Every structure is written in C-alpha cells, then in structure tokens.
Chains A and B, each alone.
Chain A
Amino acid sequence: MSATVPNIQSQQGVDASWVSRRWRGITSTGFSRFLGILAIVLTVWLVLFGLIFSPPDITQQSSVRIMYIHVPTAWVAYLAFGVTGLSSAMYLFRKKHSLIWDRFAGASAEVGVMFMGLTLVTGALWGRLTWGVYWAWDARLTTTAFLFVTYVGYLAVRRLGGSHHARARRSGVLGLLAVLEIPLVHFSVKLWRSLHQEASVANPSGDVKMDGLMLFSLFVGLIAFSSLYFWLVLHRQRVMYLEDRYEDADLDTALAERRAESTGGSHG
C-alpha cells in the first residue's frame, strides 16, 4: 500500500472548490467559525482578567493567577474524558454502531490528553511557587498522572490498526473503563491525606470564599476553555472522518492494483 499521496487524486481529480475551501477551512462550517471566534475572544478576556484585572490573593499573592489556567484545563480534561466515555457507550450499545460516536470519542480523548498534560504542567509551576517543589507523590497529583497515562494508552490503542469498526469496539471498551478513574481523581483529596487543596468552588457546602473578580476570572477561564474544547473536538472528529475516508480510498486503490497485477500475471 502506498504511503504517499494516493492515486485517487489523479483518478478523481482535485475538487475545484478545494482551493477556496483551503483558506476557509475544509472542516469549517458557519457554526464552527462562530464557535472559534467566541473561543478566541473569551481566551483574550481570560488573559486580560487573569493577568491584569483580577486582584492578587492575600496569601498566595500573584501566583493565584495560575489558577485561572490550571482549574479550567483540569475541568476540560474531565469533560473530555467524560464525553469519550459517553460516546464509547453510544457506539457500543446503540444498534446502529455509528462510527461518528467513535470519532467523537477519539477526538475528545485527544483534546483531553492535551488539556490534562497542561493541567500537570501548570500544576507543577503552581506547586513550585506554593509548596516549593514541582512534583510530590501526593494522591491528587499521582492519580492525575495515572489518568493522563491511561488516556495516552487509549490513543495508542486506537492506532493499533484493523478496520474502523474493530478500532471502535476495542477503544470503546477502554473508553468505558477509563472514565471510571475520574471520580477517583476528583475525590482523591478526600480519600487520602493530600497536599492539594479541596475544591474551592464545586464543594458540597456551596460556600465559596473567593473575591468576586477572582471568581469571575475563573468563570471566564472555564467558559473560554470549554468553548475551545468544543471547537477543537468538532474539527478533530471531522479530520478523523477525512482520514478514515482517505484510508479507505487508499485501500481500494491498493486492492484494485493488486487485482490488476494478478489478472495481468494470469494472462502472462
């Protein structure tokens, strides 16, 4: 099978509208463009509120500004892995076994891994400022690292090969099992003695002890990164569709070439 640009290009010809779509974005629609603009505007807001408008904390001083990045990245990673689990269930348990669910699961896991990686990096920087160390084998940090590695493994399993449905079944089961780690990570600060603080906003008592502007900045971060997440997943699953389509076309071409060879061989 050829690994280069497939022969289908010469057989079908490049679509005339491709040149114009190249600059508008092959995977774009009106809604995704709106979502993208919203994500960019909110991210600019987040930077302004996080670095300039929000006040320093009484005890943590300016290092609290890392919270506006760290907490939203963790939230989006949880959301992403939750969506992966849900999409995996939709693929496995619905009669139709539609591959769109598998692509949403894969896209969401990939974006989630990026955000989880960023949670670990920003958490290490914040830890160095508040605890004096980049890393400690603390319950929350260790379970978060474990969750990250699990989903890197999930992405590796998706690339093992086979048909699209074999990939979907294999990774679907893993996606359903891996999502069970999220409660373990979230409640690790309660289950074990931890350096990491408990939830400041999503606590059961509902008593939020945070300055209004700080809370608003955190809220902007959550909305900005959530919209970024939806935007990225929408595009990633469309790129996955194109990759699957490209792979199928390449396989068809390779099979046709092999058949032609064997037919030619039998005549010769």
Chain B
Amino acid sequence: MDDAGFIFTCYGVTLGAVALYIGLLLRRARRNGRTAKAEELPWT
C-alpha cells in the first residue's frame, strides 16, 4: 500500500483518540457515581 505510514497514522490517531475519550469517560463515571444509589439515577 502506498503512503501506508500516513494512512495507518490517520486510523491509529482517530481510533486511539476515541478509545482514550471512552477511558476518561468511564473513569469520571466511576468517580462521580460512587455514592449514587441505583434508584436515584433517572436512566435506571
């Protein structure tokens, strides 16, 4: 494949950024949801 370095960097950066964001989101959810009772959450 021509220009493989650029193409793989493009896919890697995009998917890596999304994975990183999901990781941060999960961490924030755990930190802030520690004291929440299930019945208090509107989506449960």
Name A residues whose Cβ lies closer than 8 Å to a Cβ of B.
Answer: 5-6, 8-9, 12, 14-15, 17-18, 21-22, 25-27, 29, 43, 47, 50-51, 56, 61-63, 65-66, 69-70, 73, 111, 114, 117-118, 121-122, 125-126, 128-129, 228, 232, 235-236, 238-239, 241-243, 245-246, 249
Contact = CB atoms under 8 A, between A and B. Distances in A.
Interface string B27-44: 011101111111011111
Interface residues of B, number: 33
Interface of B: 1-4, 6-7, 9-11, 13-15, 17-18, 21-22, 25-26, 28-30, 32-38, 40-44
Nearest to A70: B10
Contact of A129 (B3, B11, B25, B38): B3
Nearest to A118: B14
Contacts of B40: 245
Given A9-B34, A15-B37, A242 B29 contact: yes
Nearest to B4: A62
Contacts, number: 114
A6 B35 contact: yes
Closest 10 CB pairs of A and B: A26-B33, A242-B32, A15-B37, A62-B2, A26-B29, A246-B32, A62-B1, A61-B2, A239-B29, A122-B10
A239 to B, nearest CB: 5
B6 A128 contact: yes
